[in-house]
Amino acid sequence: MLQELYARHIQRLAGLYTESLSATDAAGILLHSGSAAHYYADDREISFQAYGHFLHWIAVNRPDQFLLIRPGQKPVYYQIVPSDFWYEQEIQDDPMWLEAFEIVRLESVAQISGQLADQPLVYLGDKPDVAKSLGIDATLCNPQQLLHFLDYHRAWKSEFEIEQLKEANRLALIGHEAARECFLAGGSEYDIHLAYLGACKILEDETPYTNIVALNEKSAILHYQNKRRNSEDNRVLLIDAGYRVRGYGSDITRTTASDSAHPLFRALLAGMEALELDLIAQLVPGKSYVDIHLAALRGVADLLLELEICSGSKEALWDAQLPQLFMPHGVGHLLGINVHDVGGRMQDETGTTLAPPAHSPMLRNTRTMTEDMVFTIEPGCYFIPMLLEPERTQKRGKLINWQSVEQLYSHGGIRVEDNVRVGADAAENLTRQFE
């Protein structure tokens, strides 16, 4: 079954790449996974991540791999396996590749030159000097019009891609449950991080992004990067962590409150969990993703008033842009090969973009939703001193119940995030189906 889905996926990509070439005089596209890089003034390599458009075809997260895509011909995978006793270089072939590609095994990038016919090729990748060494004209390196076309179409996921994202969600939730148990047992951020990795049986650099594991006040730092080794009075855990399957990454956030958490925070958490599910129910074809973001802000405003964290009318909070102080990020983004997948603000194949509303500049996606797009939905509510404290002396600060805010500073914040496919009639929650 998966073999058949993959074959259809490759057939779809071949059609898109053929169409993308129509704006050029090139005979094909040479797609490069990327090259290894080193830290400045050091001989230690930076953890490698293959180019997203390369991984879209084949799940080989290795440097200096190449695909040659030509209209009407079977794609060629130039599998570069250097002779090397310092590092493991062997690439384990996936049986699915054997049907989809002609595989040519080489020992170096230089050997590709002898494989290429004398024909103009587009180069897609991060090393124009590699393209030059292979005789590719500089004008055909990463042409923007072609890249706009490919980026735009990445938003629609094939059945094969949906299956990878489902599996990535299922496996990530194993780690999330282990993290929750470690938190409730009194574990530190470091302990919780290791519990997640151990349950998923993965290394840190195999995750689709660096795990965010934040206890208490640190959960108000949106991309908190540290892992404290000590733990005292675990009140709140916010963990944002995913899993990668064949290049496709899940992106799941869960917030857990212990019995020692303030009752007001626990009530807010319950409200945010309900809000997130309500937003997911609103994902239908033809609706702008911006409308989902606006609904999230209104939902946060309703909770702030209901729980008396703020006072006044809904209109007063909205006019003062008060919800944005508590939720300064967008409600989500496209998901796929890249966790923040490409083309989120693109409106057409030519690269036309639509900016987010001025009051929400961090919203990553402004697309109109259509079937088989996959998004994260991740409303949040945080108590961030950097954003809130300057408002004490301002007009809109009078709408804030500072006594409540001061009680909640030590709890940090809340984010609840699922991965969702837009269906023909209703959204399919790729995360909750496994809980």
Amino acid 23: pLDDT? 85
pLDDT digits (tens, 9 = 90+) for 233-288: 999 999 999 999 999 999 999 999 999 999 999 999 999 999 999 999 999 999 99
Distance in angstroms (rounded) separating the CA atoms of residues 289 and 291? 5
Here the tokens at position 296 are 């999230």
pLDDT digits (tens, 9 = 90+) for 113-171: 999 988 899 999 999 999 999 999 999 999 999 999 999 999 999 999 999 999 999 99
pLDDT digits (tens, 9 = 90+) for 334-367: 999 999 999 999 999 999 999 999 999 999 999 9
Residue 60, beta-bridge partner list? none
**CATH annotation of 2-153:** 3.40.350.10
Mean pLDDT (the chain, rounded): 97
Mean pLDDT of 84-99: 90
* Arch. (CATH architecture) of 159-434: Alpha-Beta Complex (3.90)
Closest CA to 220 of 413, 380, 416: 413
Q: Are 236 and 258 in contact (CB under 8 A)?
A: yes
Tell me how far CA of residue 232 lies from CA of 188, 214, 217, in angstroms: 8, 13, 12
Q: Is 171 left (phi over 0), alpha (psi -120 to 50) or beta?
A: alpha
Domain ranges within the chain, ordered by starting residue: 2-153, 159-434
Distance in angstroms (rounded) separating the CA atoms of residues 291 and 130? 44
Q: Is 5 helix (H, G, I), strand (E, B) or coil?
A: helix
The string of DSSP codes covering 229-276 is S---S--EEEEEE--EETTEE--EEEEEE-TTS-HHHHHHHHHHHHHH
Q: Are 253 and 415 in contact (CB under 8 A)?
A: yes
pLDDT digits (tens, 9 = 90+) for 160-217: 999 999 999 999 999 999 999 999 999 999 999 999 999 999 999 999 999 999 999 9
Amino acid 232: pLDDT? 85
